[in-house]
Amino acid sequence: MNAIIVLIIALACAVTFQFYKGRKLNLLLMRHYLNEIESVIKPLERDYVWLGGYVGYKGMYKVSRLKGVETTLTLLPRQSMLYFPISLITSRHDKLYLIFKLKFKSGGEVHLIQRRYFRIKPKINESLSKEIVRIENVEFEASYNNRSLLDDVVSVLSSLPNPRNIKQISIHSDVFYVFMKPEPENVKAFVKKLYEFACELSSHK
């Protein structure tokens, strides 16, 4: 009986320790990603919605070079010792979603989806041309109706520090969408390349 009580106390202490340690780490990551992204896009106005306190946030920005930028960051539940191992199976990693709203339509539709990443693939227009694109040993399923625009996207992907971190890129009408795995050491380089590309797209009437 005493052994069970000791085990329960030890477990409670471990859960409490992990909560404070994981909460601190997630808050540091949120602050870091927020600062790195905003240092690139230099927002004129900003608005935030916090997602569950330590899970992440959604940022909505007014910028000078685009109609707007939206970011959504969702982090693994590092504060939960019991759920964190499960999340490594279900969610796998932290996730950053970027939506760049262009001032003008892009003149084409392009989707690049990393092969074998999605359990359920995003729905893509079946009438688009399709091919497999290989970038630094990472395969992407490309769907497009503008070859030149596809080549531009591939060029941007190839210039990123680690293209494997990109899980999906989509350009349709006046929206440039990116879903990626963020990493503290290179998120600024990723966002800078993607933001500059979005501004180039937005400058073409």
CA-wise closest residue to 91 among 119, 50, 123: 119
- The pLDDT assigned to 15 comes to 52
- Residues 46, 49: Cα–Cα separation, whole Å: 10
Which residue type does 5 have?
A: I
CA-wise closest residue to 37 among 17, 57, 18: 57
- The pLDDT assigned to 105 comes to 85
- The pLDDT assigned to 204 comes to 67
- The pLDDT assigned to 202 comes to 84
- Residues 89, 93: Cα–Cα separation, whole Å: 9
Sequence-ordered list of residues with C-beta below 8 angstroms from that of 61, at least 6 positions apart, any chain: 38, 41, 43, 44, 45, 46, 47, 68, 69, 70, 71
Which residue type does 194 have?
A: L
Tokens linked to 4 = 């069970």
How many CB atoms neighbour CB 151 within 10 A? 13
- Residues 66, 198: Cα–Cα separation, whole Å: 8
- The pLDDT assigned to 80 comes to 67
- The pLDDT assigned to 71 comes to 97
Domain ranges of the chain: 2-202
Successive 10-residue mean pLDDT values, the chain, 205 residues: 59 55 83 95 94 88 96 86 71 93 90 92 89 94 95 95 95 96 95 95 75
Q: Provide the 3-class DSSP secondary structure of residue 75.
A: coil
- The pLDDT assigned to 24 comes to 84
- The pLDDT assigned to 23 comes to 79
